[in-house]
Amino acid sequence: MSKRMRRWSALLPMVLVAVAGGSAAIAGTQADSLLSQGKPALASSIEDSTFTADKAFDGSTSTRWASTEGVDPQWIRVDLGQQAEIHRVKLTWEAAYGKDYRIEVSNDGTTFSTVKSLTNQNGGTDDITGLSGTGRYVRIVGTKRGTAYGYSLFEAQVYGEGSSTGDTQAPTVPTGLASTGVTATTAGLSWTASTDNVGVTGYDVLRNGTQVATSETTSYTDTGLTGDTTYSYTVRARDLAGNVSGASTALSVKTSAGTGGGGFVLAAAGDIAKQCTASDSSCIHPKTAKLIETIKPANIITMGDNQYDDAHLSDFQNYFDKTWGKYKSIMKPSPGNHESYDSPAFSGYEKYFGAIAKPNGKRYYSWEKGNWHFVALDSNDFATSEKLAEPAQMTWLKADLAANTKPCVVTYYHHPRWSTGERGDNPDGVDLWKVMTDNKVDLVLTGHDHHYERFFPVNNSGSVDQTNGTVQIIGGMAGASPYKLGPAKSRTAKRMVSYGVLKLTMTENSWTSQLIGLNNEVLDSSPTYTCKAKG
């Protein structure tokens, strides 16, 4: 008997019991509004990408959420969008039901209180009424499975009414936005604190209309700016319930001329978001996302496999977007092999990032900042030995590098040419690496192998060449499960299996890199490299 047939055969007696009046319904259902349908949802896990949390709140009994099999506890959570009085929760289980579970509410999505605990349930439909709880978030926490599988819900419906006692009042608009100091690359800001009926929890800082940071205090220093450039800043306040004030009066700030020797700072990483959330202590991508707040980059480079496993749009929305997605507006992404697993290939990646990922209609593109020329590639074109003709991307790349007028060049893509990780050196990357060294590219950033490895400058033959070689760094440790290292080789300057994010400091004619670990410690620092003369 197939797994699906076993599940439905297990469900049949439960349906009969429900028809006979044996469900977990509690008398006295109130005529409340359905609050949860179509609202954002999260879950502690999913069985696969077709059983996401939102399927339990879509109003259809032909779709469902399913957790990882054989693991307790598991939970699913819905954001009602505002505080509400919760009176009723109706759960329509698939065969994999919760025997013991509890219903919880929260105002902030972090601290939950239990409204109702249920034990020895028998699946089918549980219609729990007579509840008394107030919150914006409702969570069902399964503590004991009714089968050997996981937990699976066709529908979870939350009924109640908007709470007149809930916090719907936004903080006052911040005032007094002023500059506390400007350099060629930084702008210091301060403002007067907002007030709120409950309490202000933080402030959004917007540069030219786009949010660039959140500050818990009434000051912030924006970094990675371009010299002799005018920026417009506004600030808005937030409270615990998610209410947001209007934006402050705009402040115009002009940076001083030149680079001040500081240039700009970038963050870079690959192999980022597994299908897990911050509620799982072993989930890494929420932790590496927090490092961005410390690095304060002007832009973020991604070296592929942004989202696991098949990188559907729903995966990006449920996982990547909740952590790294906070910085989407400053990202310059590139795809990996996992982005190609969607059907059609790259669909989720392209729909999530939109024009950010394809500014010229292709998955490869170039951009510039200061004295630097950056090239993002789709290295899936170069990850196979079946090369009957030069890929169109290679023709474009050669022309792009030939036309470049900037003295410093970085390329980034997913599959590394050199690696002492599990996958080893990539022989299919020979032609691509030759283009890197022939054009005197200063730095190549990659992922794919789930470890950190910084190389000495390496020439086309793979030998260390401090004069003519190109530096490659593998930064595939932003969240994916680590791989083991193989034998060391002389071209490697530093390697380790440790989670972290690359911090790149770029000046007019030089660069340095650091690997920042989960505790904000510097795990590795490169020498200062001067950009190679081009032409």
pLDDT band of 107, cuts 50, 70, 90: confident
What pLDDT score does 260 carry?
A: 46
pTM of the model: 0.55
Map 41-67 to HEC letters.
EEECCCCCCCCCHHHHHCCCCCCCEEC
CA 485 to chain centre: 26
Residue closest to 478 by CA, chosen among 320, 242, 253, 321: 320
Contact partners, residue 135, CB within 8 Å, separation at least 6: 80, 83, 84, 86, 105, 106, 107, 113
What pLDDT score does 283 carry?
A: 96
Q: Which residues of 139-178 are buried (b: 16+ CB within 10 A; e: fewer)?
A: bbbbbebbbebbbbbbbbbbbbeebeebbeebbeebeebe
Q: What is the mean pLDDT of residues 411-436?
A: 94
What pLDDT score does 12 carry?
A: 42
Tokens of 449: 């192998």
pLDDT band of 3, cuts 50, 70, 90: very low
What pLDDT score does 220 carry?
A: 86
Residue closest to 414 by CA, chosen among 384, 365, 377, 385: 377
Q: What is the mean pLDDT of residues 484-488?
A: 91
What pLDDT score does 169 carry?
A: 83
Asked if pLDDT for residue 380 goes beyond 50, the answer is yes
Asked if pLDDT for residue 385 goes beyond 80, the answer is no
Q: What is the mean pLDDT of residues 448-459?
A: 96
pLDDT band of 13, cuts 50, 70, 90: very low
- Are the CB atoms for 140 and 84 separated by under 8 Å? no
Region of 118 please: left (phi>0), alpha (psi -120 to 50) or beta: beta
Find the radius of gyration of the CA atoms of the chain. 26
- Are the CB atoms for 142 and 73 separated by under 8 Å? yes
pLDDT digits (tens, 9 = 90+) for 153-180: 999 999 998 764 556 788 999 999 999 8
pLDDT digits (tens, 9 = 90+) for 311-343: 999 999 999 999 999 999 999 999 999 999 999
Mean pLDDT of the chain: 88
Separation CA 509–CA 506 (nearest Å) = 8
Element (H, E) at 158: strand 152-162
Report the C-alpha dihedral over residues 270, 438, 424, 498, rounded to 10 degrees: -40
- Domain range summary for the chain, segments of one domain joined by +: 33-162, 175-254, 264-530
Higher pLDDT, 81 or 261: 81
For helices 392-403 and 430-438, the axis angle rounded to 10 degrees is: 10
Higher pLDDT, 240 or 357: 357
Higher pLDDT, 440 or 26: 440
Out of 16-30, 61-75, 156-170, 509-523, least confident range: 16-30
Q: What are phi and psi of 328, to 5 degrees?
A: -55, -35
Separation CA 410–CA 406 (nearest Å) = 11
pLDDT band of 24, cuts 50, 70, 90: very low
Neighbours of 519 (CB within 10 A): 9
- With a pLDDT cut of 90, the percent of the chain lying above it is 66
Tokens of 86: 């919760």
What pLDDT score does 101 carry?
A: 97
Most confident of 24-33, 301-310, 388-397: 301-310
Higher pLDDT, 238 or 89: 89
Three-state secondary structure call for residue 403: helix
Fold of 175-254: Immunoglobulin-like (2.60.40)
What pLDDT score does 20 carry?
A: 35
Range 264-530 classified under CATH 3.40.640.10: no
Contact partners, residue 183, CB within 8 Å, separation at least 6: 255, 256, 260, 262
pLDDT band of 256, cuts 50, 70, 90: confident
Fold of 33-162: Jelly Rolls (2.60.120)
What pLDDT score does 387 carry?
A: 54
Most confident of 160-164, 211-215, 345-349: 345-349
pLDDT band of 389, cuts 50, 70, 90: low
Asked if pLDDT for residue 259 goes beyond 70, the answer is no
Beta bridge partners of residue 331, listed in sequence order = 300
pLDDT digits (tens, 9 = 90+) for 61-78: 999 999 988 889 999 999
